[in-house]
Amino acid sequence: MKRDEVPIGRRVAYWRARRRMSQQVFADRLGKSKSWVDKVERGVRALDRVSTLRDIAAALRIDQALLLGQESRPAEATTRVEGVELIRAALSAYDIALDRPAARRDAPDGARLARGLAHAWTSFQHARYQALVGLLPELLAGAQRGHAHDPQAGRVPLVEAYRVTASLLVKLDEPELAWLAADRAMTVAIGDPLLVAAATVQLGQALRAAGRGREAGTATLAAAYRIGQTDLDVARMSLCGTLLVQAALAAARHGDDRAAARVDEAADLAAEVGDGNDHHHTSFGPTAVALARVAVAIELGTPDEAIVRHEKAVGRDGWRWLPPEHRAAHLIDAGRAYLQVADPVNAARVLLEADRTAPAEVRRRPAARNVLAATVRHPGAPATIVALAATLGMARA
């Protein structure tokens, strides 16, 4: 059976399984019964309402076109999927633990490995995701061998390799695999509070992406307070503040009003750190905290507040010092806020700015493509955003 002939109910079942959701969890997210979901997936109940399709796509975090069998898979998307499988294979390799011959190869050159890690982080922060997908399998293998030959010297490089891998996988909507990478980072980091704190940043991101906001909040808040008990230099402040931001985002995801208090705590640290820094690859500072307030407001369902905060934040001097990935990701969030107040013109404006800033953020991230698709579907969407969607093979519904 061809892809576009697959019944829509089977597509729903496929994507629900990919998101690791039971029928009951999926039903709860939709406000439906488990029986309703079961009938939809078996084709007993038809899906003939646009609003229902939109709700299902949102719950599954996919473009509505995927449910309708209208997706196209360009060559670069196929390459990305193949690259993710290579990353999965690298994370699944147990040559060292099993003392296989591959693990006994010469240790990698430390300086070369350090350059590779620096290049990987730069690629991530400039949203060069396709290039990073190709780099990571070899980088992970090298870091794993280095740690096997010298656990002490190889500890930081391996944690950093797992961190950047987890960060990328969250962007590519592979939360379970991102969680695995972050968990590996945590395991290697045990015994070093600073490394544990750094790894917990990605753990929190992965858990939130996997729909485990409460666990993300617990982990990041505990790590923040643990590192906050020591004398803090600006690098430790950056980690502590970033963890508080992650805890705030996790709290906001499930409607916890304490999210604002977490951001306030982070703001106090940010004032000490200042803008223009990137300690532990966090980009933490007052502007990053200002952007976090926008994200929290969106999650808490106050888009008017989010828009006011967004328009102030992007006017700060620190805005241009943030990495392109960070700025573009924020602009996509701002697009969500504008859509929530039925302002497709400004939603289109910020999405086009995000596309100019870091094209892969808009063109490769499933979450961003969902915002783009929702903007294009709005009756008031300007021609400029419709044209961008058309270049990406996203038909206007």
Residue 329, domain member (yes or no): no
286 and 389 belong to one structural domain: no
219 and 279 belong to one structural domain: yes
Residue 327, domain member (yes or no): no
78 and 191 belong to one structural domain: yes
Residue 328, domain member (yes or no): no
What confidence score (pLDDT) does residue 394 get?
Answer: 75
CATH number at residue 11: 1.10.260.40
Q: Rounded CA gap, 239 and 199, in Å?
A: 10
239 and 266 belong to one structural domain: yes
DSSP annotation of 108 reads P
What confidence score (pLDDT) does residue 10 get?
Answer: 85
Domain end point (choices 298, 322, 346): 322
250 and 149 belong to one structural domain: no
Residue 157 contacts residue 143 (beta carbons within 8 Å):
yes
What residues of the chain score a pLDDT lower than 70?
A: 1-6, 48, 50, 65, 69-82, 94-105, 395-397
202 and 83 belong to one structural domain: yes
Q: What's the number of domains the chain is made of? A: 4
96 and 144 belong to one structural domain: yes
For 195-226, what is each residue's pLDDT tens digit? Answer: 999 999 999 999 999 989 899 999 999 999 99
192 and 88 belong to one structural domain: yes
216 and 205 belong to one structural domain: no
Residue 293, domain member (yes or no): yes
Q: Rounded CA gap, 198 and 377, in Å?
A: 40
- Distances in whole angstroms, Cα of residue 11 to Cα of each of 5, 68, 96: 10, 8, 39
What confidence score (pLDDT) does residue 83 get?
Answer: 76
| H/E run at residue 273 | helix 259-273
What residues have CB less than 8 Å from 144, skipping those under 6 apart? 93, 96, 158, 161
Domain end point (choices 29, 48, 68): 68
110 and 130 belong to one structural domain: yes
Domain limits at 244? Answer: 212-322
Residue 332 contacts residue 362 (beta carbons within 8 Å):
yes
What confidence score (pLDDT) does residue 31 get?
Answer: 85
Domain end point (choices 175, 209, 243): 209
389 and 354 belong to one structural domain: yes
191 and 273 belong to one structural domain: no
Find the DSSP H helices in 98-212: 110-125, 129-149, 155-171, 175-189, 193-209
